[in-house]
Structure 1
Amino acid sequence: MSTHITLKSPLVSVEWLHDNIDANNLIILDGTINKSFDISLEQIPNTRLFDIKKKFSDTSNDFPSAFPSEEQFQKEARILGINNNSAIVVYDDKGIYSSARVWWLFKAFGFNNVAVLNGGFPAWKKAGYPTGLMQHYDGAEGDFVTDLQSGYMKFFDDIQQASKNETYKIIDARSAGRFNCTEPEPRVGLRMGTIPNSVNLPFTNLLENGQLKSKKELAKEFYMVAEKDDDIIFSCGSGITACVLALGAEISGYKNISVYDGSWTEYGTLTTGNMEQPKTWTKDELLAYILMYVSNSDLNESRKEQQYILSRVDKVVYTRVKEQFKKDSDYTSIQNIIEAVEAHDYYRNDLADLFADIKLMAFADGDYDPMEQMIYSHLKKILKDG
């Protein structure tokens, strides 16, 4: 067996890893996201923990898993003993999920002798291969040197230009429900929506039992959304599963591919969206709108009522909701509220808290007048009976 290996594919099987595990330049990384060191946890022997969140992300950034600097990536890679001549195989505990992000990061920093373990740790265990307990790497530092490659990562300004001019094909890896705004975003406070001119290819479409599908099956998935010569930007929720699409695309022979680092978390936060589509409102936007509806029932939103609303939602949210509220008729306002409440599944969750907020706001100016009482009762009946 060769003691020095060069990876010929961005994907390796557990059988291949088992046969080559003693190669002297092999480094195995666990790229499971949000994983903390725990000596009781099982791992593939001699694995080193690649901490995406704390070590290999720009933690000063407002958005999760943000692209690190060259200096940070090089320093942390060296601490893990990674050398310029290393061969890296990365896995995660889900099959293929965050491991693809690790693979893409190395490629973005100019290192190509890296591959994802197909099926990850679950496939390794299923095959009956040996495991060990998690351990810290305490060996020598590596000599890894970054060589940042342009175009691998796209950022907010890039995506704004690409979406407006359609210079790129933007492909979103989120579920169809999130892409089509029929299910809320899992991140609290993040509005539903899509990047303009984007198309949907859920990353789960590329997987079967936690493993990447065959090259032929992958090609079929990508054929439906992009041509081989398209310039492609992959997006998702926060830049993690977009890299699964990048992995599948590279295996399928696509060359002009990139990943939007901030993805929908950044884009949905930095853009106002379309307030004319209530099903895409965040819960904060909905709360602001309902409180405005009640406070304006007497055609006068008092200063104390305004202060109460601003104590519950951000000023930026208040301002954009206020602009929409001014445009809407009384009938439109009720329809908007019903549609937004249904989108957030308030019926089974926290409708009671919503009504408590409404009543507290109405009392904010010390005068719960008959009109506010009537509006409150009217809303309660409509929403509970809806």
Structure 2
Amino acid sequence: MQTLMDVATLKDRLDDAGATGRRTVLLDVRWALGDPHGREHYLAAHLPGAVFVDLAHELAGPADASRGRHPLPSQEQFQASARSWGIRRGDAVVAYDDSGNMAAARLWWMLRNAGLADVYLLDGGLAAWRRAGYAVESGERQAEAGDVELTDGALPVIDAGQAAAWGLGGVLLDARAGERYRGEFEPVDPRAGHIPGAVSAPTTANLDADGKFLSPAALREHFVQLGVRADVPTAVYCGSGVTAAHEIAALEIAGFPAALYPGSFSEWSNNSSNPVVTGAAPYPDQAATYLDGCESQR
């Protein structure tokens, strides 16, 4: 299944829409941790026809210590939002942002999980569109209400109980920055460190200098070095379940299926009974062995 769409392909699809009758819904998911001005960025400049998606309010329910900072909304709430963006039965959907698809991947994953197959990430996002010399527009774009029917559960997820033991028989990837994984810095969650057994796999390693995903071969090599294999189950978490979706997209491009832990570390760290590990090793007593293994792969 195709994950990405490049800007030239999207431009052709939009230019040919009148002749072919193919509808492509463009969704702008401008959001970044610590930047509450996504809508303002969208209003200033966005792809022609793109509708703004409010990640904090449309792609997440209210923050809840027992479910994390960005818990998934109910199926009913998500369907209502998808219809307000103008998605109809049979439409293709292309999501993008201006941060390497770190936010847009949350929408991509949620629509895939809701049963839509014809949904893509715009590789390189707004920056790639602009570099190609294509026009942008400003202001609000209101969509005519759609009629899409969404389901739930098309993609695998795990809960905290499964995450606790996942590293013993599978690969649990932590998609946050390395300093947060190691417990050196934690800007938002109550405790610093990582889930026991997790391997550090920052999402920034999935992208090139232009904010585009690495090639399938390069991504596959990267994940294999982290222990990912076709015969071993893989799961991913991050701070609140947002950038973990980016990691799942990268894994899909590389040919590896993976499950999402939606509550992620914000849920895990709020439960005082859950252990947290600091340092570079997945488990506290494996530091030397793990670091020696890393050195042997260089």
Report matched runs for 1:310-349 at 5 Å. Answer: none
Please state whether the residue corresponding to 2:269 is helix, strand or coil.
helix
Please state whether the residue corresponding to 1:170 is helix, strand or coil.
strand
Shift of 1:80: 1.2
Deviations for 1:239-280, whole angstroms, at most 9, x for unmatched residues?
A: 11111110111111113x111111111111213566997x9x
Structure 1 contact 28–90 (Cα < 8 Å) conserved: yes
How many equivalent pairs are there?
A: 266
Matches of 1:264 and 1:157, distance apart in 2 = 13
Counterpart of 1:69? Answer: 74
Counterpart of 1:153? Answer: 157
Please state whether the residue corresponding to 1:237 is helix, strand or coil.
coil
Matches of 1:151 and 1:51, distance apart in 2 = 22
Provide TM-score, normalisation by structure 1.
Answer: 0.64
Matches of 1:39 and 1:230, distance apart in 2 = 40
Q: Which range moves more in the overlay, 154-163 or 257-266?
A: 154-163
Please state whether the residue corresponding to 2:218 is helix, strand or coil.
helix
- Cα pair distance change 1:117/1:105, threshold 3 Å: same
Matches of 1:207 and 1:172, distance apart in 2 = 16
Matches of 1:275 and 1:171, distance apart in 2 = 15
Deviations for 1:326-370, whole angstroms, at most 9, x for unmatched residues?
A: xxxxxxxxxxxxxxxxxxxxxxxxxxxxxxxxxxxxxxxxxxxxx
Work out which of the residue numbers 230, 233, 240 in structure 1 matches 2:232. Answer: 230
Structure 2 contact 193–276 (Cα < 8 Å) conserved: no
Structure 2 residue 19 is matched with structure 1 residue 19:
no
Counterpart of 1:348? Answer: none
Matches of 1:71 and 1:274, distance apart in 2 = 34
- Cα pair distance change 1:127/1:47, threshold 3 Å: same
Shift of 1:73: 0.8
| Percent of paired sites with the same residue | 28
- Residue ranges of structure 1 left out of the alignment (5+ in a row): 1-7, 280-386
Q: Which amino acid aligns with 1:19?
A: D
Counterpart of 2:173? Answer: 171
Matches of 2:276 and 2:160, distance apart in 1 = 21
Structure 1 contact 96–244 (Cα < 8 Å) conserved: yes
Counterpart of 2:198? Answer: 198
Q: Which amino acid aligns with 2:100?
A: G
Q: Which amino acid aligns with 1:31?
A: V
Structure 2 contact 194–276 (Cα < 8 Å) conserved: no
Counterpart of 1:310? Answer: none
Matches of 1:195 and 1:275, distance apart in 2 = 5
Matches of 1:167 and 1:67, distance apart in 2 = 27
Matches of 1:150 and 1:157, distance apart in 2 = 21
Counterpart of 1:47? Answer: 50
Report matched runs for 1:268-279 at 5 Å. Answer: 268-272=269-273
From the two aligned structures, give the one with the greater helix fraction. 1
Counterpart of 2:26? Answer: 28
Shift of 1:169: 1.6
Q: Which amino acid aligns with 1:78?
A: R
Report matched runs for 1:201-350 at 5 Å. Answer: 201-209=201-209, 210-225=211-226, 226-255=228-257, 257-272=258-273
Shift of 1:107: 0.9
Q: Which has the larger radius of gyration?
A: 1
- Cα pair distance change 1:38/1:224, threshold 3 Å: closer
Matches of 1:124 and 1:47, distance apart in 2 = 13
Structure 1 contact 108–153 (Cα < 8 Å) conserved: no
Alpha-carbon RMSD: 2.3
Shift of 1:154: 2.4
Please state whether the residue corresponding to 1:269 is helix, strand or coil.
coil
Q: Which has the higher contact order (CA 8 A, sep 6+)?
A: 2
Counterpart of 2:282? Answer: none
Matches of 2:163 and 2:201, distance apart in 1 = 18
Structure 1 contact 53–64 (Cα < 8 Å) conserved: no
Shift of 1:214: 1.0
Please state whether the residue corresponding to 2:250 is helix, strand or coil.
helix
- Residue ranges of structure 2 left out of the alignment (5+ in a row): 280-298
Structure 1 contact 95–123 (Cα < 8 Å) conserved: no
Counterpart of 1:144? Answer: 148
Structure 2 residue 86 is matched with structure 1 residue 88:
no
Please state whether the residue corresponding to 1:64 is helix, strand or coil.
coil
Structure 2 contact 43–140 (Cα < 8 Å) conserved: no
- Cα pair distance change 1:151/1:55, threshold 3 Å: closer
Matches of 2:87 and 2:239, distance apart in 1 = 29
- Cα pair distance change 1:117/1:39, threshold 3 Å: closer
- Cα pair distance change 1:161/1:85, threshold 3 Å: same
Please state whether the residue corresponding to 2:58 is helix, strand or coil.
coil
